[in-house]
Chain A
Amino acid sequence: MTGATEATAGASPAPEGRRKERLDRGLKVRTEGLYAVNSYREITYLVGPRLLLILGLAVLPLLLPNLYWQRVLCVAGAYALLAISFDFLANYVGLVCVGGAFMTGVGGFTAGIFTYYLHVPWPISILLGTVLGAALVTLIWLPSLPLRGIYFAILTFMFPFLARGVILALGILGGTEGLGPVAGMDNIWIENYLVIVVLLVAVFGLRRLVGEDAGIVLRGVKDNDMAVQASGISVTRTKAKGLFIGSLAGCFAGAYIVHLYNFMGTSLFATDYSILPIAAAVMGGSGTLAGPMLGALILTPLSELLRGFGQLRVVLYALVLVGFILFKPEGLLNWLTRKYHQFEKWTKV
């Protein structure tokens, strides 16, 4: 709240008699909490990073050299939505969901069925895939919501394999072959900007939600679910609401991918959709929502470069995950935010 000082931990060995101190910038204190913002400088300080994010994403497609990298941006956008979904569920609802691939699969097949069988126009299919898919995911995982921590994680991780197995064994929904062509967006600019707009809506929308009363109840469930029950609120119902909101992002990703590739098949349940978002979330900064998105936007192109090396991609995720957990557990965005708000100086002790 105030300009608290804090000694740096570890890092470089401090010279005798001196110590590195971190101080909050005066502006940070002025622009948060009880104070009112009343100068251009303060407004810029607050709005600057947000504006940078919006403008950066807006010009990004224009800066890409060719169609190939524009396609990579689309895929990265889908992963970024999954990363945001993971971050929101893990840090604001207390559900560690390791089953992103189940969301892409359910969202993808739901949307794909509308387009492929019923010839519904793609924007409506994607919308239906997102909303109905999220409802379906929530319904299917409803019985597992009382499970805690690792048990919920394991269960959600198994679901994509289960769904894939059912489709392959019964030969339904295209079985091993998959179904196509699914009439898609078929315009790279629409494909790029659709995912960018949805990303911005997801990040800013969720960041706003977690600060509002409904979001505070969700966070309450994460912090202390017994106190929430003692306050006359059903924990299961609250978690279900949170899961539905988180699944919207994941199911959109699946619905979008189907209309990007003009194809739907069991690859929608691929384990990459479960794992990469977690690495991205850890790398970008847990609990920041925007950080995991940035993480995915960095990690996906990197993994794309390694496409020729097959399984090496998994090694990349693993290395990023382990590296950040060990050396920078706060993640990129938390680190950047700290640098933005604080300065360091040496003081005598």
Chain B
Amino acid sequence: MNDEVILEIKGLTKQFGGVTAVNNVDLTLHRHDILGVIGPNGSGKTTLVNLITGFVKPTKGKIIYLGHNITGKTPHVIADRGIARTFQVMRPYATLAAYKNLIVPLSSPRVKRMVGGSLGDRDAVAIDILEEVGFERDAYVPYKLASSLPLGYLKRLELARCLALRPDLIICDEVFSGLSMAEIATMVPVMERLHDAGLTIIMIEHRLRELFRLANRVIVLNFGSKIADGVPAEVMEMEEVKAAYMGTEAVPC
């Protein structure tokens, strides 16, 4: 792996009233890492994503991305710097065809900057990206109305919306959950290809088998605190992890 630090989090804390959703989390992420984040429901995973991407302002702590302090910056500024994220609760632009959903990120200042001028035919670029994440062009799936897509495609659409932004870091909040085994089996190679293409990835996932296959590093959150950090095989064996994560709930979802 690469040595360049892409994301550094120091003492990150978020309190909602009396609830400490994220508690004093430190994290260093290197370029080209795939970091898995696991933890039971309500352990603060989504809040961590919201903090990194600016949708929630931290109570305490610092977030450094590529050497810039992005703590407290607005979401669109952070996205513009190159951090893309999916939403756990998907709300596509329902009145638009699937490929038209990607017109929004493709019209962003970041994309304009990165291609150095005009992208040409944005529709064609959008359809290419959708094909990359598994929309069958021959079956005209990219042309379907977003509101008519089944869950599996909505998850892919979320991923595609992130890719369209040409990010350096992509944060996936449970993109596998709700998918069938067969669908997950097609998504894993998609994630592998994105990684091979040079992306750094943070994956929040309950599907441990697939996650541990993809990730080179895993952290575990419990009640907002990071209780483990290491390579998947090590983390799997730690007693606290077993207790916090698998002990109470046999099949977390």
Q: Is A214 part of the binding interface, using a Cβ–Cβ cutoff of 8 Å?
A: yes
CB-based nearest A residue for B146 = A223
Interfacial chain B residues near A1, Cβ < 8 Å:
144-145
Q: Is A282 part of the binding interface, using a Cβ–Cβ cutoff of 8 Å?
A: no
Interfacial chain A residues near B94, Cβ < 8 Å:
223
**Chain B nearest CB, measured from A255 CB (Å):** 32
Contact of A229 with B93 in the complex, beta carbons under 8 Å: no
A232-B78 Cα distance, complex, nearest whole Å: 7
Tell me the count of chain A residues lying within 8 A, CB to CB, of chain B: 21
Interfacial chain B residues near A234, Cβ < 8 Å:
74, 76
Contact with A along B128-140 (1 / 0, CB 8 A): 0000000000001
Q: Is the interface of A mostly helix, strand, loop or mixed?
A: helix
Interfacial chain B residues near A235, Cβ < 8 Å:
76
Interface residues of B in 94-111 (CB under 8 A from A): 94-96, 100, 103-111
Picked from A33, A213, A219, the residue with its CB within 8 Å of the CB of B93 is A219
A33-B97 Cα distance, complex, nearest whole Å: 10
Contact of A230 with B93 in the complex, beta carbons under 8 Å: no
Q: Is A228 part of the binding interface, using a Cβ–Cβ cutoff of 8 Å?
A: yes
Contact with A along B156-173 (1 / 0, CB 8 A): 000001101100000000
A227-B143 Cα distance, complex, nearest whole Å: 20
Contact with A along B73-85 (1 / 0, CB 8 A): 0111001100011
**Chain B nearest CB, measured from A277 CB (Å):** 23
Contact of B100 with A216 in the complex, beta carbons under 8 Å: yes
Picked from B91, B100, B145, the residue with its CB within 8 Å of the CB of A227 is B91
Contact of A229 with B74 in the complex, beta carbons under 8 Å: yes
Contact of A213 with B84 in the complex, beta carbons under 8 Å: no
Interfacial chain B residues near A226, Cβ < 8 Å:
55, 75, 87, 91
Picked from A224, A228, A230, the residue with its CB within 8 Å of the CB of B92 is A224
Contact of A216 with B75 in the complex, beta carbons under 8 Å: no
CB-based nearest A residue for B119 = A213
Contact of A232 with B76 in the complex, beta carbons under 8 Å: yes
Known: A230-B53, A232-B110. A216 touches B104 (CB 8 A): yes
Interfacial chain B residues near A220, Cβ < 8 Å:
93, 96, 104
Known: A33-B143, A34-B140. A228 touches B74 (CB 8 A): no
Contact of B85 with A230 in the complex, beta carbons under 8 Å: yes
The 6 nearest A-B residue pairs measured at CB: A231-B105, A232-B79, A229-B75, A232-B108, A232-B80, A223-B93
Provide a sorted-by-A list of 18 A–B residue pairs whose CB atoms are within 8 angstroms. Answer: A1-B144, A34-B143, A213-B107, A213-B122, A216-B100, A217-B104, A219-B93, A220-B96, A226-B55, A229-B76, A230-B53, A230-B85, A231-B79, A232-B76, A232-B111, A233-B76, A233-B105, A233-B107
